[in-house]
Amino acid sequence: MSARCTAARTSLRTAGIMVVFTVAFTALMAATFEVTRPTIEASAQEGKMRLINEVLPRASYDNLLLDDFVTLGPTPELGLDDGGHIFRARKAGEPAALVLEVIAPDGYAGRIQMVVAVGADGRVNGVRVTGHRETPGLGDYIDPKKDRNKSQPWIEQFADVSFADIGLDKWKVRRDGGVFASRSGATISARAVTHAAARAADYAIRHRDALFTAPAGGRL
């Protein structure tokens, strides 16, 4: 047998082994994913509920909140270029609050992802930052986990505030003539979050009836 034939046969055998290995590895990964998917999904759901319960007291609603949502298309008012979700809290079947996914596009270091809970009575129940790239030790106080003031985190000042009492014109940081505090040297971060919270409250109030009556899982 010539050296050329031997080399060709070796190459074919090696290629065959690689194909078998690839198929087996792919099958193993697929099987592993199917086995672990319920656990991963359950963990993701628990994470969402923990976050929602930070902005909305658990006692204020009794429905399966993660199953009661509407999907938004691109919504500039909320900074959602690709759309997002609004979850609907109900108590004894009656509207209790809306939990909105919001993005502040004008943070110091870019987009700031947030959730804002707005009660059916127009009061902001709470605000949380869920993702940002603000400067560590300076602008990241917008995230209560990073805020050095653990007894009175900056973002808690939005909780239980009536949007109607303040109005859109005054829903600003004090430096801009509004009513909300900011921190020295990091006003841009606070301003972005404050404006986004105002837009979320305004949107929730103006679209309240349509949001609560839309079919669960539907798209607006």
What's the CA gap between 196 and 105, in Å, rounded?
9
Q: What is the identity of the amino acid at 25? A: F
- Phi/psi at 32 (5° precision): -65, -40
What's the CA gap between 144 and 29, in Å, rounded?
38
DSSP state of 83: -
What's the CA gap between 58 and 65, in Å, rounded?
10
Which of 113, 201, 120, 190 minimizes the C-alpha distance to 157? 190
Question: Length of the chain in residues, anyone?
Answer: 220
Question: What is the full per-residue pLDDT of the chain (220 aa) written as tens digits?
Answer: 555 656 556 666 665 666 555 555 555 555 544 544 444 443 445 777 888 999 999 999 999 999 999 999 999 999 999 999 999 999 999 999 999 999 999 999 999 999 999 999 999 999 999 999 999 999 999 999 999 999 999 999 999 999 999 988 999 999 999 999 999 889 999 999 999 999 999 999 999 999 999 999 888 8
217: left (phi over 0), alpha (psi -120 to 50) or beta: left
What pLDDT is stored for residue 49 in this prediction? 83
Whether the model pTM is above 0.75: yes
- CA distances 124 to 56, 120, 199, 209, Å, are 9, 9, 11, 17
Helices then strands, each counted (H, E), the chain:
4, 6
172: left (phi over 0), alpha (psi -120 to 50) or beta: beta
What pLDDT is stored for residue 37 in this prediction? 42
What pLDDT is stored for residue 5 in this prediction? 58
User: Token match 């007291």: residue?
Assistant: 57
DSSP state of 79: T
What's the CA gap between 31 and 119, in Å, rounded?
44
8 A C-beta contact, residue 112 and residue 131 = yes
What's the CA gap between 217 and 93, in Å, rounded?
17
114: left (phi over 0), alpha (psi -120 to 50) or beta: beta
What pLDDT is stored for residue 10 in this prediction? 63
Judged by DSSP in three states, 29 sits in: helix
What pLDDT is stored for residue 39 in this prediction? 43
What's the CA gap between 189 and 17, in Å, rounded?
56
